[in-house]
Amino acid sequence: MFERKTAKTLAEVDAAIRAAAISYKFGVLSVINLKEKLLDKGLDLASECSVYEVCNPHQAKRALEANGAVSTALPCRISVYGVAGDYKIATILPTAMMRAFGSPVIDQVAQEVEQDLVAMIREAAESNA
């Protein structure tokens, strides 16, 4: 797992993740607000928790062509969680997850995607000050 703290607001983190995704040729496919989903079920989560599903289509195609079962691990996810003034941005490292497929092609894709995800999170977490 890779994780960074940020002092940004949720709106600032959202904008920063979206901007970083674009600059690294990723798309934000969806954002799942787990706090809202749980509240819909009558459960109040004390902290915020949203999951961004992100994808670089060229990298996804390479991995899927090597082994269609990779689809079980796609898209990549970036999580934002915590309380105001103490949010964290995190992801599971693709290299750790993709080892399960035992493919040199998938391992290479995972390394490249991981470099971009880590850079995206670092950029999203940085202070604007």
The amino acid occupying position 105 is V
What is the arithmetic mean of pLDDT over 33-57?
97
Q: Is the pLDDT of residue 23 over 80?
A: yes
Segments making up each domain of the chain, as ranges: 2-125
Percent of the chain with pLDDT over 70: 98
Rounded to the nearest integer, the mean pLDDT of the chain is 96
Answer whether the bond into residue 75 is a cis peptide, omega within 30°: yes
pTM here is: 0.94
List the CATH code of the domain at 2-125: 3.30.310.70
Mapping DSSP onto H, E and C, the string for the chain reads CEEEEECCCHHHHHHHHHHHHHHCCCEEEEEEEHHHHHHHCCCCCCCEEEEEEEECHHHHHHHHHHCHHHHHHCCEEEEEEEECCEEEEEECCHHHHHHHHCCHHHHHHHHHHHHHHHHHHHHHHCCCC
Q: What is the pLDDT of residue 85?
A: 87
